[in-house]
Amino acid sequence: MGTCWGDISEGVRVEVPNTDCSLPTKVFWIAGIVKLAGYNALLRYEGFENDSSLDFWCNVCGSDIHPVGWCATSGKPLVPPRTIQHKYTNWKAFLVKRLTGAKTLPPDFSQKVSESMQYPFKTSMRVEVVDKTHLCRTRVAVVECVIGGRLRLVNEESDDKTDDFWCHMYSPLIHHIGWSRSIGHRFKRSDITKKQDGHFDAPPHLFMKVKEVDAAGEWFKEGMKLEAIDPLNLSAICVATIRKVLADGYLMIGIDGSEAADGSDWFCYHATSPSIFPVGFCEINMIELTPPRGYAKLPFKWFDYLRETDSIAAPVKLFNKEVPNHGFHVGMKLEAVDLMEPRLVCVATVTRIIHRLLRIHFDGWEDEYDQWVDCESPDLYPVGWCQLTGYPLQPPAPQCKFLSCQDVLQ
């Protein structure tokens, strides 16, 4: 969708159903975009001028919104709304005058929308996914369904298909079959010795590519300290240690003070991941750093901790410092996955921005449920995404009165 979204802006004219009409058949009229909010547009029928009494919200990618000219080519009637029918005697001349030079949707817009909702992952494809019970390893899962690019994955060994996990097709948590072996990552072998009928391996080219890195020179080493988003508590950035260096730029990381003796809660981040930071990142950006559990010498000071643990900080130059011109601002509304319960997509607000890092607050919930998310995360969506794809949207929590689309966006 991003490739054709530049064609959408305030002032663009479209043809939409005319709901202010007593005719028994479905008729249409011209409307202009007054305001954009994600995939949703506030529309005003042509001829209402500054009167907003019949303004309405509509999903721009919906099936009932068309470029100007669609009615003429489709044989559909253009009928002015009943409220303003008396204003002009020659509506055709009015439209010619108003629409001359006006922008509308590209003629192939609906085709582009349709194409953007075709997803390469198919049901019955096999993938490797992080084991949610042991973060240090992956296991085989099968794509059970695809909605809006989000995959419901079911553990291949699950007989009743209840052992599932939701993620986006471009999530860093899924990989092609054989990925773990190729980089030296732990893998839970399946008790199933051969593929079940109809299951087939997802082709490697479907998965999100990571940037190539040069590990030949100065590189991350086991024991180096850093700061990392805790995958089990995404509201926290923690003191962490590189526990193992894998191939292709992947690192196994542990949260200091919280690690299991067998390393079962180590987790894998790529060296270019936006979820790892050099020592001092939190202090520089005035973010609370979570010290190791049980560490008594507070406030936490990196200089003292490095000396006490006889360790060194990972070199700053090894971290990803790219910051895209993402356009997010504090206060913006969006639809965001609750990554602690990834089947849920919720009404959310951007509450803080640190370079490419966004603090996502779930409307109606306490701040402790906030999550740090990268600006390019595949788990953030524009307002209206759920409606467009048919994915259920979780409204704000009950203690917050239910908000309509208009309430959220005004």
Mean pLDDT by 10 residues, the chain (410 residues): 74 96 94 94 96 95 94 95 94 94 92 90 97 94 96 90 92 97 93 75 96 91 98 96 97 94 93 97 97 94 97 97 95 97 97 98 96 97 95 85 50
In terms of domains, do 338 and 297 share one? no
Same structural domain, 241 and 315: yes
Q: Are residues 93 and 143 in the same domain?
A: no
Give yes or no: residues 42 and 77 share one domain. Answer: yes
- The residue from 287, 319, 351 where one domain ends is 319
- Asked whether residue 119 is domain-assigned, the answer is no
Same domain, 249 and 315: yes
Query: Given this model, what pLDDT does residue 162 score?
Result: 85
pLDDT of res. 353: 98
CB 240, CB 268: distance < 8 Å: no
pLDDT of residue 401: 46
Give me the domain span that covers residue 377: 332-394
- Model pTM score: 0.89
CATH number at residue 183: 2.30.30.140
Whether residue 146 is contained in a domain is answered as yes
Residue where a domain terminates, one of 206, 241, 267: 206
pLDDT value of position 161: 81
Is 248 in the same domain as 274?
A: yes
How many folded domains does the chain comprise?
4
Answer whether residue 3 is part of any domain.
Answer: no
Distance CA 300, CA 320 (A): 25
If asked whether residues 101 and 16 sit together in one domain, one would say: yes
Spatial separation of the C-alpha atoms in residues 201 and 203, rounded to whole Å: 6
Tell me, yes or no, whether 215 lies in a domain. no
DSSP label at 92? H
Half-sphere exposure of 74 (CA within 13 A, CB side): 14
Choose one of 319, 344, 372: the last residue of a domain: 319
Residues 314 and 336 in one domain: no
DSSP codes of every residue in 343-370: T-EEEEEEEEEETTEEEEEETTS-GGG-
Judge if 16 and 103 occupy the same domain.
yes
Residue 398 has φ and ψ, to the nearest 5°, of -55, -30
Tell me, yes or no, whether 6 lies in a domain: no
Q: Does residue 408 sit within a domain?
A: no
- The answer as to whether 347 is a domain residue is yes
What pLDDT is stored for residue 48 in this prediction?
A: 96
Is 1:114 a contact under the CB 8 Å cutoff? no
- Indicate if 277 and 347 belong to the same structural domain: no
> So what's the pLDDT on residue 403?
52
In this structure, the number of other CB atoms found within 10 A of the CB of residue 125 comes to: 22
Say whether both 135 and 200 belong to one domain.
Answer: yes
- Cβ neighbors of 245 (< 8 A, separation 6 or more) are 215, 219, 220, 221, 222, 251, 252
Please indicate, yes or no, whether residues 101 and 135 belong to a single structural domain of this protein: no
Q: Is residue 68 part of a domain?
A: yes
The pLDDT value recorded for residue 321 is: 93
The per-residue pLDDT for 167 is 97
